[in-house]
Structure 1
Amino acid sequence: MNLYIAAIIKDEYAGLLEWIAWHRVLGVDGFVIADNGSRDGSRELLSSLARLGIVTVFDQPDLENQKPQLPAYERILRSCSRDIDLLAFIDADEFLLPLTPGESLPDYFSARFQDESVSAIALNWSNFGSNGELFAEEGLVVERFTRRAPLKFNVHHNFKSVVRPERVNHFHNPHYANLRYGRYIDVQGNDLVLHPRHGYGVSNEVLWEGVRVNHYAVKSLEEFLLGKHLRGSAATANRVKHKAYFKAHDRNDETCLLAASLAPQVKEEMARLQEQLAALPEETPQKASSWLGNRVKKLMG
């Protein structure tokens, strides 16, 4: 089964190539991305990657009295190719991580969706903190941020979903899909049990098995203030992510190097993508090309 990633992004230039390279290393076949008015070069980069056949991109402007994330998800569901078997709906600060070394994401999900009754699977968060970094530094996100909250951290009850797109009515929120039919399962293959108080998008148990979602919620203080704090929420009206959000999510209790161990492969893939971008005809946006060239050189030393 092929696996695509669906997302809405805004001003994610600094980490976008890494995020795409990461998932390509792990076997993701393609990306369907809505751009919500990026002004930092993200849209130009996505356009170039679209010319390479790596992503499909469209513009998702702000809508009056409505946040853009769920309309973007609806558009993705209704317009995606019928050749796409599975769609993982995640954000650009979320990295799907197989917990069995050497296993690809399509292999894992193909095994779970081999049962025709399964329409969606829920993957719990693993929240990573700032590692004490105040400022943006060189290096990959997965290299720089290697400390996380413990399993029992309440935020980890949140999950993201991988779905058969043709079986989804709509998304209730960015975490939970309303299905036309079929089973919503957890990573153990059991029917998903929602949290009795928090409901849709929040599981009763936190399960770190098979695949989980590494959520780099804050990164460094500088990156948080210039990124997530300014962007706000793409799904919740009037939500400002400020001091309280940073303090709540800046958990650095435990070291986890699983993602960091894949950094060499991700850097190689980033370099390959840069070579392909550089080979595009002259109409390729120079801003994306030159920035990527400089970044890859720094990452590769």
Structure 2
Amino acid sequence: MAEGYLVAAAMRNEGAFLVEWVTWYRMLGFDLLVVTNDCTDHSPALLNLLHDAGWLTHTTHSPDPGTPPKRSAHRTIRAHPATARTEWLMICDVDEFLVLHDGDGTIAGFVGDTAPGRFRGIAFHWKVFGSGGETRWHDALQHRTFTRCADTHDRANASFKTLIRHPLDFDRFGAHSPMGFAGDWGTGENVLVDSEGRTLGRYHPNGAAQRATHPDRVTHRAAQMNHYMIRSPESFALKRGIPSPSAGRDRYTDDFLARYDRNETEDQSALRHADRFDALHAEAMTLPGLARLHHLCCADYVTRLAEAAGQDPRSDPRYTRHMDRATTMT
């Protein structure tokens, strides 16, 4: 019988951010599946180490030429044995952190408290975090560095990510919600609810793909999906001119930056379980070889930042610092 909770993500060259993201979702009680393609940093080695240590499952996929890589990633996720074994699946990205306000701080506790009856999925609305005055990247926890965000009912937060029950009952997965349901949608447990347990009546998996609600329906009372989509202007510069892995088009423009670099409100609710996170993060960093690979991934990231700015990474003290730390570790 399928059981448990699985979070799955498609990633490429995200090594500098991996340890925090993996720690976060293990803290919430998820198993993890990460699929990568065509990485040029040390993230495959880091993921393989975590795979061998039992912290996650890592596999690769090969995107079809000329199509957004997320389509191939989602097919790989659906076909993977980990998805067949799980009762609940959520697909998200390395810059998305689910924050639970209700319950005991675990996803199992939250799902049990969300609604009096059964349901097929829970839609967690984005909470979009801006750069918060940061201008350059440094090796620090995203969820503590960026604490300024958009107000709840701002249109930037209207998108959601979905935790779905019995994922193989859906024909295919999207970045925000599944599509192609085999049963009678809208009856009994076959409904999608928001994080307060309210049914999203307009959502239907056999209709047009849906990724958002009206801004008035956005809720962060019980839970929220923190989205650190900008990080710093230096990090955002890496996205410019690069097709979106979901949409396959260049959307990382000045308009995108203006819409999502939101800093109107302070929100530190992600620190609710700081002690539990810190203990688990420290445990991860003591895995043999992991700290070295983390610093190599950070050096890789600084190389990309420097090259995007037309500079030599060897002249960047961040590169030197991470390489020095990597060479002193085993």
TM-score > 0.5 by shorter chain: yes
CA contact (8 A) 1:194 1:201 kept: no
Which position in structure 1 is the counterpart of 2:231?
A: 219
Does residue 202 (structure 1) correspond to residue 207 (structure 2)? The answer is: no
Give the deviation of 1:266 after TM superposition: 2.5
Structure 2 counterparts to residues 239-254 of structure 1, below 5 A: 239-254=250-265
CA contact (8 A) 2:50 2:56 kept: yes
Instruction: Report the residue type matching 1:210 in the other structure.
Output: A
Does residue 184 (structure 1) correspond to residue 192 (structure 2)? The answer is: yes
SS of corresponding position for 2:120: strand
Give the deviation of 1:289 after TM superposition: 5.9
Larger strand fraction of residues = 1
Matching residue within 263, 288, 293 for 2:293: 288
Which position in structure 2 is the counterpart of 1:94?
A: 96
CA contact (8 A) 1:148 1:256 kept: yes
Give the deviation of 1:245 after TM superposition: 1.5
SS of corresponding position for 1:201: coil
Identity of aligned residues (%): 23
SS of corresponding position for 2:138: coil
CA contact (8 A) 2:33 2:57 kept: yes
Which whole-Å CA distance do the structure 2 matches of 1:74 and 1:119 have between them? 20
Which whole-Å CA distance do the structure 2 matches of 1:133 and 1:266 have between them? 23
Provide the TM-score with structure 1 as the length reference.
0.85
Root-mean-square deviation over aligned CA pairs: 2.6
Which position in structure 2 is the counterpart of 1:281?
A: none
Which whole-Å CA distance do the structure 2 matches of 1:230 and 1:72 have between them? 22
SS of corresponding position for 1:191: coil
Q: Which runs of 4+ in 1 moved over 3 A?
A: 110-116, 228-232, 260-265, 289-295
Give the deviation of 1:244 after TM superposition: 2.1
136-145 vs 120-129, which moves further: 136-145
Q: How many residues matched?
A: 284
5+ residue gaps, structure 2, are 184-189, 299-320, 326-330
Structure 2 counterparts to residues 1-301 of structure 1, below 5 A: 2-28=4-30, 30-81=31-82, 82-100=84-102, 102-112=104-114, 115-116=117-118, 118-164=119-165, 165-171=167-173, 173-178=174-179, 179-181=181-183, 182-194=190-202, 200-204=210-214, 205-226=217-238, 228-229=239-240, 232-278=243-289, 288=293, 291=296
Which whole-Å CA distance do the structure 1 matches of 2:153 and 2:170 have between them? 30
- 1:3-36 Cα shifts (integer Å, max 9, x gaps): 11011011111111101111112222x1111102
**Which has the higher Rg, Structure 1 or Structure 2?**
2
CA distance change for structure 1 residues 99 and 261 in 2, over 3 Å: closer, same or farther? Answer: closer
51-60 vs 101-110, which moves further: 101-110
Instruction: Report the residue type matching 1:274 in the other structure.
Output: M
CA distance change for structure 1 residues 75 and 23 in 2, over 3 Å: closer, same or farther? Answer: same
5+ residue gaps, structure 1, are 279-283
SS of corresponding position for 1:126: strand
- 1:158-188 Cα shifts (integer Å, max 9, x gaps): 00011121222213x3112123232222223
Give the deviation of 1:121 after TM superposition: 1.5
